[in-house]
């Protein structure tokens, strides 16, 4: 990361990854006959359980923490009674803004 922070391109790549995770989450929810909100909460619980494993590597932990934080944001957006697609777009917009706001002073 340059001292000036992450670029728009870098923020977009993070958002693309999380949007892909959301697509998979939605397909999984549909296959089990669950709502996206319900599946999101289940996934957060599964990630929390997995994070308890002592053999997790630093990168695996970081990816899981990023995914869990995104799903928590998505869950919050879904609770706001907006449609699922709008909730996903709001959660992704929050991630984009957050990534771009990261600055490490030199």
Give the DSSP per-residue string, the chain: --TT---HHHHHHHHHHHHHHHHHHHHHHHHHT--HHHHHHHHHHHHHHHHT-TT--HHHHHHHHHHHHHHHHHHHHHHTT--HHHHHHHHHHHHHHHHHH-----
In this prediction, residue 4 carries a pLDDT of 78
- Rounded CA separation 92/21 (Å): 11
pLDDT digits (tens, 9 = 90+) for 35-92: 999 999 999 999 999 999 999 999 999 999 999 999 999 999 998 777 889 999 999 9
In this prediction, residue 104 carries a pLDDT of 82
CB neighbourhood size of 72 (10 A): 15
> 106 pLDDT exceeds 90?
no
Domain ranges in the chain?
8-100
What pTM was estimated for this model as a whole? 0.90
> 20 pLDDT exceeds 60?
yes
């Amino acid at each position: 990361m340059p001292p000036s922070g992450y670029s728009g391109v870098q923020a977009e790549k993070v958002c693309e990854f999380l949007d892909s995770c959301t697509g998979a989450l939605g397909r999984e929810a549909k296959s089990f006959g669950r709502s996206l909100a319900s599946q999101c909460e289940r996934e957060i619980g599964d990630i929390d359980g997995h994070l308890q494993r002592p053999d997790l590597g630093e990168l695996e932990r970081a990816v899981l923490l990023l995914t869990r934080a995104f799903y928590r944001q998505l869950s919050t957006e879904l609770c706001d009674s907006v449609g699922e697609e709008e909730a996903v777009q709001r959660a992704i917009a929050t991630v984009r803004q957050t990534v771009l706001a990261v600055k490490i002073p030199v």
